Chains A and B, each alone.
Chain A
């Protein structure tokens, strides 16, 4: 298995532009997480899907952020309009079915720079 695949690996965009980050979880995993990591705030959970359904989006900063999971093998995180303070590394992670918290497998991340 190729693991969690994220694209793009790097994104540089101008303030006000729309940004779409993509994630393909590990096949068979039913939980998907979007995280944001910065030096100041560390790793923050943005949203958590279980069986393609958003379970907890309390970490989504504001209405400019939205996430979808149309099927078990694909998810997107969209920022519209983007702002310089959105610059961070965005990680997608997935985990397998089962009771209780399981190991989260991370993608390599998307490094977003908004100028």
Chain B
């Protein structure tokens, strides 16, 4: 079983719709969680950190469920520019190493 798993997609979503995807992690001792965004043929960039109580940044909402060991990303009122691959990232403890999911590809259609 992979340490961090994501549905690879692609998710094909009409512009303006709401889309959500999850990421599961295997290590219950994981401490920090992030969502990164990667555009085609570009480098990954931090989208948002995920806090225990959940957090929101504009149209983006991130949630953490420690009991079920998953994090989620919700995008409201999706834009064409949201088309990208979204990478789930987990830190497992004191060595500060980041464990990366394979990414979920999102395609927003006009």
A residues near B (Cβ < 8 Å) are 31, 42-45, 48, 55-56, 91, 100-101, 103-104, 106-109
Contacts and interface: CB of A to CB of B under 8 A. Distances in A.
Interface in B93-110: 95-98, 100-103
Interface string B31-61: 1101000000011111000000000000000
Contacts of A104: 44, 46, 98
Contacts of A107: 43
Contact of B46 (A100, A103, A108): A103
Interface residues of B, number: 18
A91 B95 contact: no
B91 interface: yes
Given A104-B46, A106-B44, A56 B103 contact: no
Contacts of B62: none
A101 B95 CA distance: 9
A101 B33 CA distance: 9
B43 A91 contact: yes
A96 to B, nearest CB: 12
Contact of B98 (A55, A101, A108, A109): A101
A106 B97 CA distance: 15
Pairs A-B, 6 closest by C-beta atoms: A106-B43, A42-B102, A101-B91, A43-B100, A103-B46, A101-B96
Nearest to B101: A42
16 contacts: A42-B100, A43-B44, A45-B97, A48-B97, A55-B95, A56-B95, A100-B32, A100-B96, A101-B32, A101-B91, A101-B96, A104-B46, A106-B45, A107-B43, A108-B42, A109-B43
Given A42-B100, A43-B44, A107-B43, 10 more contacts: A42-B102, A45-B100, A48-B97, A56-B95, A100-B31, A100-B91, A101-B91, A103-B34, A106-B43, A109-B43
B87 interface: yes
A26 to B, nearest CB: 13
